[in-house]
Structure 1
Amino acid sequence: MKVLVTGGGGFLGFHIVKLLLAEGHEVRVLGRHRYPQVEQLGGECYVGSVTDLPSVLQACEGIEEVYHVAAIAGVWGEWEDYYNTNYVGTLNVIEACQTHKIPRLIFTSSPSVVFAGQSQTGLNETTPYSSKWLTHYPKSKMMAEKAVLAVNSESLKTVALRPHLIWGPGDNHIIPRLVTRARSGQLAVVGNGKNKVDIIYVENAAKAHLQVAEELRLRGQSAGRTFFLGQKEPVVLWDFINEVLKREGLKPVTRKIPFFMAYTIGRSLEWVYRWFNRKEEPRMTRFIACQLAKEHYYDHSLAEEVFGYDPHISVSEGLDRLYAAKGLM
């Protein structure tokens, strides 16, 4: 089968590409440049952008299944960039699928589409979308997810997956940033340090995409639906962070700041950065404060029931794999 992965040179996208190639599929990647790691494995790279409809239409020629992973993530930036890439880019992918009569579209969404800064414990897919946004990313992903689910039909079956806090080999976002801040003495426990969160090892997230795609092909019970993805069991965030720091040879984080203080600092920094039109991300934002202090974990039983989701790589094994890849074991 010939498959397209948008953003296939990125963190999650490349792991999806590797699994697809291992299963014997022909894989084309749509990205802003060529990816040697993809081509070395036998994948095809098509240079283009999801924001450019002609690029997407051309990339989708001859394709039988699309994994739409490409997105701008992060907690800081211009709304126009998030809107164009995450929302308009998704509309372009949908139009290309419809134009070329591609029967299946698997979309990578985010649990942040239901997150408004409050603690969330064991929520399931009946949870409504948030109406309050602390940053542009979740709003743009919500708009994209709604668009994907709205076009589900017999001719184009669509599904949205919501993996939470993806980490593992190749991650250049979550763990590296935490380690960098810890090394510079800029990391502190926000809140009481006991908050539990969902995290997901990258290979578990990638495999779930292939599992739900197979379910779409064979039965279609996942069509038009969205699914939370995590490790089944939440972890205490700061215990996980301190285990990472231990493996990095760093001391655990013990300094604490109250949540209200971090949130207030974040709100103030956001105002200052916008006033002075600073492009770099503030050290603290309201969204980051909430993510570091609040509980946010979800119920994965629907994914287990519908397409057999099973995060087979544990957190401990994932850490072993991560640091084996870094040569620190």
Structure 2
Amino acid sequence: RRKVLVTGGGGYFGFRLGRELARQGMSVILLDLNKSPCDVPDGAIFYQSDIRDYPSLYKVCEGVDCIFHTASYGMSGPEQVISPHHLTKVKGHTRTRANRSIPRLVYTSTINVVFAGKPIEDGDEDSVAYVAPEVHIDHYSRTKAIAEQMVLSANGCSLKGLLQTCVLRPCGIYGPEERRHLHRVNVERRLFSFRFGDPQARMNWVHVDNLVLAHTLAAEALTPKRSCVASGQAYFINDGVSVNLFEWLTPLVS
């Protein structure tokens, strides 16, 4: 029975990912600084700890086959203008993996690593470059880009077995009981007339269930059974449809 760790397992997405992994029969550890808002599903345990606490992280990673690193800080709200130790995103996986021989790491990044306000049309993983660090307007996006590059550079490392890594770049997440992305965008929508000025603006979103599926498929694609086809890769994740933000958002928040 495979044992997996979901950092940020008390968050909206991390909890749902852990719930699905447990449903698939895996032994799941949900790790989060904050307490889980919901009852822990059968097949999972919740471990409350700071991911920057290395001894604690080292302990909880014993026997883990795959880490889903969804934990992050500063996506919205006042945290965006506070510069915490960005190690919440980048510390832990490399050193812990080296000592625990964890073979797979799936990192949850963001489209913001390549987006800083300028429209991207028909962009793909090969054609769109990272935003320069000094161009990012918030610490969240900047440190996500740093973390993503660290994760990808660690792919193929051979310390105690070969490490396989990949990165997923979701856009805005929506779904049942989602309160963070939609609330933030609804506030921003009231400011669109002078902040953005383009009522025809289109963007991509991803339903939380599709994002969960993307993570489970990515983890499987890092195994020898799937020839490790996702090894060292970064993927944009969305529902495959671009929508007019004004038209799409109205029934969700009105």
Match of 1:77 in 2: 81
Matched letter for residue 192 of structure 1? D
The TM-score, its normalising length taken from structure 2, stands at: 0.88
Aligned pairs for 1:122-271 (under 5 A) are 122-126=122-126, 127-131=128-132, 132-153=135-156, 155-179=162-186, 186-189=190-193, 190-217=196-223, 218=225, 219-245=227-253, 248=254
Aligned pairs for 1:285-324 (under 5 A) are none
Q: 1:181 to 1:199 in 2, by over 3 A?
A: closer
How far did 1:69 drift?
A: 0.4
Matched letter for residue 74 of structure 1? S
Aligned pairs for 1:26-105 (under 5 A) are 26-35=27-36, 37-72=38-73, 73-74=75-76, 76-79=80-83, 81=84, 83-86=86-89, 90-105=90-105
The TM-score, its normalising length taken from structure 1, stands at: 0.68
Q: Considering fraction of residues, name the structure with more helix.
A: 1
Q: 1:118 to 1:180 in 2, by over 3 A?
A: closer
Q: In the TM superposition, what whole-angstrom CA distance separates every residue of 1:148-190 from its partner, at most 9, and x where no partner exists?
A: 00111161100000011011123221223445678xxx45444
Match of 1:291 in 2: none
SS at match of 2:230: coil
Q: In the TM superposition, what whole-angstrom CA distance separates every residue of 1:9-32 from its partner, at most 9, and x where no partner exists?
A: 101101111110110111001111
Q: In the TM superposition, what whole-angstrom CA distance separates every residue of 1:178-224 from its partner, at most 9, and x where no partner exists?
A: 45678xxx454441211110100011001100011111112201101
SS at match of 2:210: helix
Matched letter for residue 176 of structure 1? H
On the 8 A contact 2:15/2:30 being kept in 1, the answer is no
Matched letter for residue 238 of structure 1? F
Match of 1:107 in 2: 107
Superposition RMSD in Å:
1.9
Counterpart Cα distance in 2 of 1:243 and 1:156:
44
Moved over 3 A (4+): 177-182, 186-190
On the 8 A contact 1:106/1:158 being kept in 2, the answer is yes
On the 8 A contact 2:19/2:41 being kept in 1, the answer is no
Matched letter for residue 174 of structure 2? W
SS at match of 2:118: coil
- Percent of aligned positions that are identical: 29
Matched letter for residue 58 of structure 2? L
SS at match of 1:147: helix
Counterpart Cα distance in 1 of 2:139 and 2:115:
12
How far did 1:41 drift?
A: 3.5
Q: Please list every run of 5 or more consecutive structure 2 residues that lacks an aligned counterpart in the other structure.
A: none
- The size of the alignment, in residue pairs, is 239
How far did 1:55 drift?
A: 1.7
